[in-house]
Amino acid sequence: MSHTARLSAENQPAKENGPTHRILRIDASSRVTGSHSRTLADYFEQQWLRKRRDAEIRRRDLASDPIPHIAPETIAGFYTPPEQMTGELRAATAVSDTLIDELQSADILLLSTPIYNFSVPSALKAWIDQVVRIGKTVAYDGKNFTGLVTGKRAFVICAYGAAGYAGKGPLTPFDHLAPYLKLLLGFIGISDTRVITVEATSADAATVSESIGTANREIEAAVAALP
């Protein structure tokens, strides 16, 4: 089967009883326990499973199962026409193929991540560099880019230690996490992206609890609005 045909088939809803039941959950916090972004993603999952008992959730934990950085052979493979691929290049692009298949097979991307040094954790950047790929997730005609990851929506849960990033706060210019992820997902074709943030996770217990409560209400509203 040609690659194009395979992608189109994967973009179809898997079951007839609803288009949004397959979730790809990706967690990026280095903290496997005590992580606010992961706890909020758990809550999203619980809410979603209450609503759709037939939901399938596939998880990818970027901390427990790190994605390798792209190597020179990976880049060579990305730009080699299929008929010229060698065994070595196929091996070097196998991780990318797997990650792209996972993404294309999902209806919903649930991505949880902290901000590290004003940007994405390197574990998540490694995933991004494997997934953003000309001819597979984005088409380029020499002039324009067109995203190929269509028919999906994304929920991105972002945890910030400080307060003041959201709502034009004083740290907004330092936020290279949420705006970047929205842009990046849009670039590959996922234009329906909702960001849910929890800020001030390094603050006192009462402030943290209030921030989490607000994020939980946002998650409930987001899941309720899903078909």
Positions that interact with ligand FMN (CB under 6 A): 29, 31, 35-38, 114-118, 159-162, 201-202
Minimum separation from the CB atom of position 189 to ligand FMN (A): 27
CA dist., res. 216 & res. 210, Å (int): 10
Distance separating alpha carbons of residues 210 and 8, to the nearest angstrom: 43
CB of 69 to ligand FMN, least distance (A): 18
- Residue number with CB closer to ligand FMN (93 or 201): 201
Q: Which CB sits closer to ligand FMN, 39 or 96?
A: 39
Nearer to ligand FMN, 62 or 115 (CB): 115
CB of 196 to ligand FMN, least distance (A): 13
C-beta of 74 vs 201, nearer to ligand FMN = 201
Residue 137 CB, nearest approach to ligand FMN (Å): 26
CB of 33 to ligand FMN, least distance (A): 9
Bridge partner list, 193: 154
Q: Which is nearer to ligand FMN, 188 or 219 (CB)?
A: 219
